[in-house]
Each structure stands twice: as C-alpha cells, then as structure tokens.
Amino acid sequence: MGQYVQVEDNVKIYIEDIGQGVPVIFLHGWPANHLMFEYQYTLLASHGYRCIGMDIRGFGKSDAPWESYSYDRMADDLRAVIDELQLENAALVGFSMGGAIASRYMSRHNGHGIKRLLLAGAATPVFTRRPGI
C-alpha cells in the first residue's frame, strides 16, 4: 500500500508498505526508486515480513525540492518515516547510495528503531574529517 510521509514543509516522501511482521526498510541506489526491490517485497512478505520501500527525495514518487540533498537531510527523512510508521527493531537495507544514507542514519540517529543493518554495494562516503585534509 503506497502512502506519503511529510518530512518537512512542502516535502513528502513516498513509501510502499507491504506485509506484516518484522519490518524491513529498503533504501534504493541512484537513480532507482523503491521498485528496484519489488521481488524482495513479494518473497519476504510471504514469509512474514513487513517490507517498506522508500523513494529517496528527488526519486520515484517522492517530492523533488530544489535543495536539501545532503546525507544528513536524507537521514532525517528516514527518521521521519520510521517515526511516522512507529517502527521498532527493524532491519535496514541500503543499496549503493541507499547504503550511504543508511550509514549516516545509524550514526546521526543512533540507530533509532533499527535492530539490523545490511549494506549491499554501499557507496558510503567518508563522514569524518581526517587530519591534514
């Protein structure tokens, strides 16, 4: 079932929420959308999992504001979705750019609502400053 979550003024994030049971949140890579995991939704939902696919801002059915595409902002979008759906003990799956967002989320929000993290081909940038750089 598709729905929108308001993450900030004039910005809504589209999610698909399929099945019941342990929640699994999927974050797609660039330039895809939540549909890149459609086969996983079907299989996992048939085995008792709740699959939540999120279109990252600017992709798929989510709003595409002119600015605010930092990893911090996208991690905050994920937090708004987790809070809106009242998720606890979820698994978070991040592929490619989705892996970078998942990594940033875990550090920025102390893993709020997440029990397991899977990074698949994650394109995680360096989020810390290194001496001399």
| Residue 126 binned pLDDT confidence (cut-offs 50, 70, 90) | low
Share of the chain above pLDDT 70, in %: 94
Q: What is the pLDDT of residue 129?
A: 60
Catalogue all structural domains in the chain, each as residue range(s) with its CATH number: 2-120 (3.40.50.1820)
Give me 129's structure tokens: 């400053």
| Residue 123 binned pLDDT confidence (cut-offs 50, 70, 90) | confident
